[in-house]
Amino acid sequence: MAEEPPRARADDGWGVLSTLLTGVFMWGGLGWLADWLLGTTVFLPVGLVGGAGLAIFTIYARYSRPPGPP
């Protein structure tokens, strides 16, 4: 099995980082908006933790599969 070039592994790293940050910022932002509209303080932490969890699941689902044919 041939080793992947360094550029492909770097691209995977940037993909993982952007997925994680997007999940946290998107769901955290929606939680902040819900808190602001409803006058509560519970949705921001739930959005941050839920977004991180969903992002980690997405990363696992995407990168745990063996690579397909070239």
Identify the sign of the CA torsion 29, 22, 27, 46: negative
Is it the case that residue 11 has pLDDT exceeding 70? yes
Name which of 14, 52, 10 is nearest 31 in CA terms: 52
Q: What is the pTM of this model?
A: 0.78
**Mean pLDDT of the 21-26 span:** 97
Give the separation between CA 5 and CA 35, rounded to whole angstroms. 46
Which pLDDT band holds residue 3 (cuts at 50, 70, 90)? low
Q: Write down the pLDDT at residue 65.
A: 80
